Amino acid sequence: MSAAAHLNPPSSAPPAGAHREPVFHVRGLARVYGEGTAAVTALRGVDFDFFRGELVVLLGASGSGKSTLLNQLGGLDSPTHGTLLYRGWNLGTADESGLTQFRRDAVGFVFQAYNLIPSLTARENVALITEICRDPMAPEEALELVGLGPRMDHFPAQLSGGEQQRVAIARAIAKRPAVLLCDEPTGALDVHTGITVLEAIERINRDLGTLAVIITHNAILADMADRVFTLSDGRILNARSNARRGSVRDLAW
Amino acid sequence: MSLLDRKLLRDLIALKSQALAVALVMACGLAMMVTTRSLILSLEATRDTYYREHRFADVFARLKRAPNAVREQLAAIPGVATVQTSIAIQVTLDVPGLPEPAVGLLNSLPERGEPVLNRPYVRAGRLPLGRTTRGELAVGEAFAEAHGLNPGGAISAILNGTKQDFRLSGIVLSPEFVFEAPPGAALPDNKTYGVFWMPYKDLATAFQLYGAFNNVAITLAPGASEGEVIAAVNRVLAPYGARGAYARVNHPSHRRVDDEIRVLQGLSLAFPLVFLSVAAFMTNSVMSRQIALQREQIAMLKASGFSNRQVGAHYFKFSFAIVIVGVLFGAIGGVYLGHRLVEMYHLFFRFPQLDFVLDARVLVAAAAVSALAAFTGVAGAVRRAVHLPPAEAMRPEAPASFRPALLERIGGARWFSASFRMALRNIERRPIRSGLTCLALALATGILIVPNSFRDGIAYVIDFQWDIVQRQTVTLTLVEPGPSRAIADFRHLPGVELAEPFRYVPVELRSGPISRRLTLQGLPEHGTLSRVIDAEPRQLTLPARGIVISSKLADILHVRPGDEVIAKVLEGHERELAVPVIGLAEDFAGMAAYMELHALNRLLLEGDRISGAHLVVNASRWSDFLHAVKHTPRAAGCVIKNSIRDGFRKTTGESIGLLQKMYLLFAIIVAFGIIYNSARISLSERTRELATLRVLGFSRGEVGAVLVGELVLLTVAALPLGLVIGSGFAKGILSSVNTETVRLPLVLTADNYAFAILVVALASALSAWFAARKLADINLVSALKALD
């Protein structure tokens, strides 16, 4: 199966009800680094399905395997064992160019350290991505969505940390990704700034039907999720669903 | 080994290809410096020892003929320590295996004892000294080697019209003929010109000179005035057809060695310094980057109690390690090339022994210069590092500030892609570093121009000298200037289609206090064979009055067309008169002056006389012609244009050709080194940015384009600048090679420029390719985690 046929992002809000389409189908996923006695097992076989329109929070201490899992989902790394399907397409056995295409069309990344290109303005950082993917939104629209319309011609050095992170989110969503992967998105931010960033992620998830996966060690974020997975020592320790998602503003900061 | 030193070693290993690139550029500069300075030392030391041990004279004089008694008059001149009189005569030789006749300069050896001045060094066999040596001849080494002659071999010479057979007694060298070539020649032609020594009696009787001499060598007493002695010698010899005494500085062989040392001096400083400055810049950029990368390590070291001095020393050691490798390679390269070049000098200069002497002082000085350059290159970065408060250093550096590039601000923005904008803004944000990188790239382009301009200059000289100036097949000279009807005899030689006469006369040209001795050539007004050509190049016609001189000679005498020079005839009726300079001729070896043939003869008061003729000979009768010439008693010399040209090609191919290849290799190493280093630093600085792009879905090729964009822009800006700089280098270096004996014209061809551009473009492409391969090794996950 070709990669491209499965990379089309959702075009509308998520359908409610039982016939939900899994974005990721994961069974027995394991990742071992190194070999022999030096082998380090980062993931020891995890199973789950993530669906369109869901907001999932992965909790865990450092070394729990949550970053490894995120890297697998984002096509930055390949599993050692197990099944990793993205909308029926085997991501686990994809080659380098298949993974590049996957990241380009299907995944939006938000990093703890923002990773903006310092020599490009906010608008250009977003445009950099919209130039290479199919059916993107206008960079201005993406920046409006994260509330940065007025500051879009500023360079990263002229923006606060929260603003830089929101540019990163705009960059991630401008391609209308099927998946938004956020690695400690508020890790480097103060509470107030963190709230604006999380609100931006929440709005994208709600309005565009994007599957959003947030990894964090901050348990407070669990309340904004549809489902919460707690990882420890490379395993899923606990999975629960929230009957009702809490709004970001109501989280117990 | 302290742990910090162990860290240093491992850091160096991690940085090995860049450290090596810097060290190699440094090594190229050092090798050049060590080679040339050591050669200067070798030549000077060898020459001085040789001159001293073999008693090279201080003052020299040639004359027509003086009785031996005059020797006492010369010895009586105040300030004269030793006088040696002898006979020196040029003859035609018949060498076995050589179709054309060769020219031999026969020198007499004293009847009793050994020569007291200009004493030959016997390489093999012996000198034909004493009474039992009749029919024996010692031969100069260069000629002997060119013809495979050995002691016991045979050679024939035409002495005063009579062919005589000689046996070779030995192979010798002489301080008078270190450069074994006719006076004024830029390069030796050992096939057709040789120097010989034979007993006085044999030579003198053959030329009816027994009891007389025509050659004088004098050493001065300590404190004697050279000028006064020369004037006195001229007075003593005036009645005997003196051609003017001259000092050692004007001795043709000595002058040629001197000029070579001057050329080496020109090459030994400026050009290597360019390499060393480039190396200093590269050290700076590598070290600045290294220190930036190790910001947190520096903070940790300082937080743990290491002093600023310890941290600073650590990074200085890093750059000194690079210098040590560079010096090592430079010394090895310099010694190796020095040995190769010493072998090359054997082509030109004949010393009993010319050994390569490593100029250790230069090595030490060059190492110190490199260390100093590295030190200044690194000092700024180290100072910034050690002055960083530990707490601040622990935090990642704030994102760099950018703004739209000038090109965008003036309205170009909408045409540029994002990656082009990134490149432009990166360049503009660090103007000094971008400027220096651009300059280094320009220097890399520039130094590629120099070696090929040598090659093109030589090609031009060959075409100019033997296609434009000289169009004869062969030049025949008479034993003595003779009546102009001799030209008719030449026209009757087999195969001769065209013959034009010439008159050669030794003169001294003077303007104010400056004078030079040279051969004044009398040529037909509209000569078609040996032509007088100016810099255009355009043929100059010789009018009935006035003189045309080499433009180099005009520079030396400080005269321009329209000025007058004093011409003093050094042969026959000694006369002195002022002649106007009417034109400047272009030439690249020695110095020349030309007059119309009849005008010259009027000046000499000798009637219509000629020294020889330039001939065009039909190729189908060539061997008949040569055979006839070998048996023409009145022909003293026969110069075949093509063999001179071939000899020139061969000798320059082996000498300047070697230098050219060596410099070209260095230039290519530097071009690659600079560009590779820039690409690596750019890669290192932007790893995070490039990894982000990869994570965001850019392919390797697209990210590669972003990385290379900046380098491409800088290279494109550097190329035209490099061509200008290179042309300047070539001009500067060629002007240092511009001596009275040898010159090279500045020839800059489109091919040369295209080659430089091609090499730099290729180096850029390959470096970009290497760097792009490194991109594949970047671990996307860890590159994002690491805070630079």
- How far B422 CA lies from chain A's nearest CA (Å)? 5
Q: Which of A111-125, B228-242, B559-573 has the highest mean pLDDT?
A: B228-242
Nearest Cα to B724, choosing from B435, B446, B457? B446
Last residue of a domain, one of B230, B254, B278: B254
* Identity at B551, one-letter amino acid code: S
User: Which of B216-225, B259-268, B388-397, B767-776 has the lowest average pLDDT?
Assistant: B388-397
Dump pLDDT digits (tens) for B253-269: 998 888 888 888 878 87
Cα separation, B516 vs A56, in Å, equals 98
Give A212's strand partners: A55, A180
User: Which of A199-208, B497-506, B624-633 has the lowest average pLDDT?
Assistant: B624-633
Helix or strand holding residue B493 (H, E)? none
Across B439-459, average pLDDT: 88
Tokens 């020459």 appear where? B47
Nearest Cα to B605, choosing from B704, B756, B503, B534? B503
pTM for the structure as a whole: 0.75
* Identity at B85, one-letter amino acid code: T
C-alpha dihedral, B414 to B416 to B418 to B419, nearest 10°: -170
Q: Is residue B137 part of a domain?
A: yes
Q: Is residue B187 part of a domain?
A: yes
pLDDT at A5: 45
How many CB atoms neighbour CB B81 within 10 A?
15
Q: What is the largest CA-CA distance in chain A?
A: 55
Q: Is residue B566 part of a domain?
A: yes
Across A25-34, average pLDDT: 92
Q: Are B595 and B522 spatial neighbours (Cβ–Cβ below 8 Å)?
A: yes
Tokens 């025509």 appear where? B214
- Chains A, B: CB contacts within 8 A come to 86
pLDDT at A9 over 50: no
Could you tell me which residues of chain B have a Cβ less than 8 Å from any Cβ in chain A? 396, 398-404, 417-418, 421-422, 425-426, 429, 688-689, 692-700, 702, 780-781, 784, 787
pLDDT at B506: 84
pLDDT at B60: 95
Cα separation, B296 vs B9, in Å, equals 19
Q: Indicate the number of domains in chain B.
A: 2
pLDDT at B479: 76
Residue B298 CB-half CA count within 13 A: 27
Mark yes or no for CB contact A104/B421 under 8 Å.
no
pLDDT at B185 over 60: yes
Q: Are B131 and B69 spatial neighbours (Cβ–Cβ below 8 Å)?
A: no
Which residue among A71, A133, A175 sits closest to B781, beta carbon to beta carbon?
A: A71
Q: Testing the interface with A: which of B424, B692, B703, B781 to mutate, by most A Cβ within 10 A?
A: B692
pLDDT at B388: 67
Nearest Cα to B94, choosing from B163, B156, B166? B156
Q: Which residue of B has its CA nearest to A133?
A: B697
Dump pLDDT digits (tens) for B325-343: 999 999 999 999 899 888 8
Cα separation, B725 vs B665, in Å, equals 19
Mark yes or no for CB contact B697/A158 under 8 Å.
no
pLDDT at B361 over 70: yes
Last residue of a domain, one of B201, B230, B254: B254
Range of the domain at B76: 58-254
**What DSSP line would sit under A81-143, residue for residue?**
EEEEEETTEEGGG--HHHHHHHHHHHEEEE-TT----TTS-HHHHHHHHHTTSSSPPPHHHHH
Structure tokens at B243: 């051609």
Cα of first residue to Cα of last residue in chain B, in angstroms, is 29
If you ran DSSP here, which 8-state letter would residue B583 be given? Answer: E
User: Which of B36-50, B357-371, B562-576, B773-787 has the lowest average pLDDT?
Assistant: B773-787
Helix or strand holding residue A30 (H, E)? strand A22-33
Mark yes or no for CB contact A118/B695 under 8 Å.
no
User: At CA B143, angle to CA B138 and CA B146, rounded to 5?
Assistant: 135
Q: Testing the interface with B: which of A119, A128, A181 to mutate, by most B Cβ within 10 A?
A: A119
Dump pLDDT digits (tens) for B644-703: 888 788 877 777 788 788 888 888 888 888 888 888 888 888 777 888 888 888 887 788
- CA B760, chain centre distance (Å): 26
Chain mean pLDDT for chain B: 85
How many CB atoms neighbour CB B298 within 10 A?
25
Percent of chain B with pLDDT over 90: 32
Mark yes or no for CB contact A120/B402 under 8 Å.
yes
Q: What pairing do the DSSP bridges indicate for beta strands B609-617 and B474-483?
A: antiparallel
Q: Is residue B388 part of a domain?
A: no
Q: Are B103 and B192 spatial neighbours (Cβ–Cβ below 8 Å)?
A: yes
User: Which of A32-36, B94-98, B178-182 has the lowest average pLDDT?
Assistant: B94-98
Nearest Cα to B509, choosing from B557, B552, B548? B557
Across B184-211, average pLDDT: 87
Last residue of a domain, one of B254, B274, B299: B254
If you ran DSSP here, which 8-state letter would residue B561 be given? Answer: B
Tokens 């590092």 appear where? B385
Structure tokens at B431: 């103007």
Q: What pairing do the DSSP bridges indicate for beta strands A107-110 and A179-183?
A: parallel
Nearest Cα to B233, choosing from B117, B361, B85, B377? B85
Residue B414's pLDDT band, with cuts at 50, 70 and 90, is low
Q: Are B521 and B187 spatial neighbours (Cβ–Cβ below 8 Å)?
A: no
Cα separation, B175 vs B107, in Å, equals 13
Mark yes or no for CB contact A118/B418 under 8 Å.
no
pLDDT at B785 over 70: no
Q: Which residue of B has its CA nearest to A74?
A: B695
User: Which of A60-69, B140-149, B539-548, B735-744 has the lowest average pLDDT?
Assistant: B735-744
Could you tell me which residues of chain A have a Cβ less than 8 Å from any Cβ in chain B? 67, 71, 74, 76-77, 97, 100-101, 103-105, 107, 109, 111, 113, 115-121, 124, 127-129, 131-133, 155-158, 164, 171, 175
Q: What pairing do the DSSP bridges indicate for beta strands B496-511 and B514-523?
A: antiparallel
Domains of chain A: 4-246 (3.40.50.300)
Cα separation, B510 vs B505, in Å, equals 16
Q: Is residue B530 part of a domain?
A: yes
b/e per residue B214-253 (b: at least 16 CB within 10 A): bbbbbbbeeebebeebbebbbebbeebbbbbbbbbebbbb
Mark yes or no for CB contact B402/A118 under 8 Å.
yes
Cα separation, B422 vs B419, in Å, equals 5
Angle between helix B656-685 and helix B700-736 axes, rounded to 10 deg = 150
Q: Is residue B592 part of a domain?
A: yes
Which residue among A115, A132, A171 sits closest to B698, beta carbon to beta carbon?
A: A132
Q: Is residue B210 part of a domain?
A: yes
Q: Is residue B639 part of a domain?
A: yes
pLDDT at B389: 63
- How far B267 CA lies from chain A's nearest CA (Å)? 44
Nearest Cα to B331, choosing from B668, B19, B27? B27
Q: Which residue of A has its CA nearest to B401?
A: A157
